[in-house]
């Protein structure tokens, strides 16, 4: 059995933690909840009743700062220093160890930059860096070292990026990424979507966002209407690594999106000590489907500088994959892939 004790039924029916008046409540806006995110490990541990001495060695002053929304912290197990969600956000001293092959630009984003903030890496689709901001700072992030200052979309840079897209008729899909595109205000997101919707050869608009999982209050009726209102198909690719991330609030947010015919997919990253267990991956796929989300990709870790302590071997990844293949129907088995800088597509891991 998985070392993290849960079942999909327990997750679905898990009562919400009582939150005192100093913490966000359901009546607060998503912006207010974001402002209440934890930015210090000691405050997060105090909230979770975890002794700091029980944790691995932490960084004193992490250059990649801590950021954890309280609603995501509420999915963690109080008193458990080995909680798989907690491990994703702790700034360990291990991040400062240089490891061969772990680099600042692990997937070749900079070499594929067609315009500032516009990555044209694969045939038929391009990716817009919409913002540097995220609602949560995941320690394994492959863009943790990305030069956002040089590639943020200012109005002038946005015009050049949109002009590039308009003049490349082979582009049928635009991906909005970041940072997290759902941290844009509704007005800014609406303006960007309207500009893309005017380009006739764009068939699909895809957004990659962790917000429905870590800050489900962001999925407001107005946002759902905004995402569903365009002529193109809209795909929202979420990012959950563990079934405990998929709370009742996340399920409600996803149901609202699904009700407006927005396609929901999920991509996960294999992470040592977090989800490197067949039971965990099996439960994740089952819980995703309960939330109207289809598993899409299961990534081997992108070798970003500072993330080596999360890596597992290809042989273990393949073993886990074959185990979940034997337990799940095909539509609930994500593709096990690795992204390689300069490759024309994500490379399946095979044996």
The 10s digit of each residue's pLDDT in 164-203 is: 999 999 999 999 999 999 999 999 999 999 999 999 999 9
Tokens of 3: 């070392």
Instruction: Dump strand ranges (E) for the chain.
Output: 113-115, 118-122, 125-129, 173-177, 204-208, 233-238, 263-269, 294-299, 335-338, 347-348
The 10s digit of each residue's pLDDT in 203-216 is: 999 999 999 999 99
Q: Count other Cβ atoms within 10 Å, centred on residue 72.
A: 25
The 10s digit of each residue's pLDDT in 226-259 is: 999 999 999 999 999 999 999 999 999 999 999 9
Q: What is the mean pLDDT of residues 280-295?
A: 98
**Cα 253 to Cα 259: distance, rounded to the nearest angstrom:** 10
The 10s digit of each residue's pLDDT in 254-281 is: 999 999 999 999 999 999 999 999 999 9
Peptide bond preceding 179: is omega within 30 degrees of 0, i.e. cis? yes
Q: What is the mean pLDDT of the chain?
A: 92
Question: pLDDT value at position 149?
Answer: 79
The 10s digit of each residue's pLDDT in 59-91 is: 988 889 999 999 999 999 999 999 999 999 999
Residue 351: pLDDT above 80?
A: no
Question: pLDDT value at position 148?
Answer: 82
Question: pLDDT value at position 26?
Answer: 63
**Cα 199 to Cα 213: distance, rounded to the nearest angstrom:** 30
Question: Is residue 127 very low, low, confident or very high in pLDDT (cuts 50, 70, 90)?
Answer: very high
pLDDT top residue among 68 and 157: 68
Question: Is residue 332 very low, low, confident or very high in pLDDT (cuts 50, 70, 90)?
Answer: very high
- Which range has the worst mean pLDDT, 10-19, 33-42, 341-350? 10-19
Burial grade of 110 (CB within 10 A; 0-12, 13-18, 19 or more): middle
Question: pLDDT value at position 69?
Answer: 98
Residue 9: pLDDT above 70?
A: no
CA distances from 305 to 59, 239, 254 (A): 15, 21, 33
**Cα 301 to Cα 285: distance, rounded to the nearest angstrom:** 19
What is the pTM (predicted TM-score) of this model?
0.91
CATH number of 1-351: 3.30.70.870, 3.90.1010.10, 2.60.40.1840, 3.20.20.70? 3.20.20.70
Q: Are 91 and 101 in contact (CB under 8 A)?
A: no
Q: What is the mean pLDDT of residues 314-332?
A: 98
Domain boundaries, the chain: 1-351
Residue 17: pLDDT above 60?
A: no
Question: Is residue 11 very low, low, confident or very high in pLDDT (cuts 50, 70, 90)?
Answer: very low
Question: pLDDT value at position 154?
Answer: 80
């Amino acid at each position: 059995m998985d070392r993290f004790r849960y079942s999909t039924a327990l997750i679905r029916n898990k009562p919400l933690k009582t939150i005192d008046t100093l913490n966000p409540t359901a009546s607060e806006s998503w912006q207010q909840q974001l402002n209440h995110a934890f930015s210090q490990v000691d405050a997060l541990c105090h909230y979770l009743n975890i002794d700091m001495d029980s944790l691995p060695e932490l960084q004193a002053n992490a250059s990649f700062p801590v950021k954890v929304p309280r609603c995501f912290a509420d999915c963690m197990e109080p008193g458990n220093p080995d909680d798989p969600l907690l491990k994703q956000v702790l700034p360990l001293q291990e991040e400062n160890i240089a490891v061969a092959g772990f680099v600042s630009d692990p997937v070749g984003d900079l070499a594929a930059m067609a315009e500032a903030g516009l990555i044209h890496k694969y045939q038929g689709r391009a990716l817009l860096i919409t913002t540097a901001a995220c609602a949560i700072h995941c320690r394994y992030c492959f863009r943790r070292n990305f030069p956002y200052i040089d590639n943020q979309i200012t109005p002038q840079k946005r015009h050049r990026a949109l002009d590039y897209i308009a003049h490349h008729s082979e582009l049928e899909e635009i991906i909005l990424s970041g940072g997290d595109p759902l941290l844009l205000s509704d007005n800014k997101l609406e303006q960007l979507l309207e500009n893309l919707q005017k380009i006739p050869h764009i068939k699909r608009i895809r957004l990659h966002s962790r917000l429905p999982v870590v800050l489900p209050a962001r999925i407001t009726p107005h946002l759902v209407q905004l995402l569903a209102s365009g002529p193109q198909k809209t795909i929202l690719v979420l990012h959950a690594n563990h079934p405990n991330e998929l709370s009742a609030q996340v399920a409600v947010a996803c149901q609202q999106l699904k009700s407006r015919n927005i396609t929901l997919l999920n991509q996960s990253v294999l992470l040592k000590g977090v989800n490197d267990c067949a039971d965990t991956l099996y439960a994740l796929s089952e819980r995703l489907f309960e939330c109207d989300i289809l598993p899409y990709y299961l990534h081997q870790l992108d070798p970003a500088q500072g993330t080596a302590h999360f890596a597992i071997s290809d042989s273990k990844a393949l073993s886990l994959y074959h185990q979940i293949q034997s337990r799940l129907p095909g539509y609930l088995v994500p593709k096990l892939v690795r992204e390689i800088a300069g490759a024309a597509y994500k490379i399946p891991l095979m044996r």
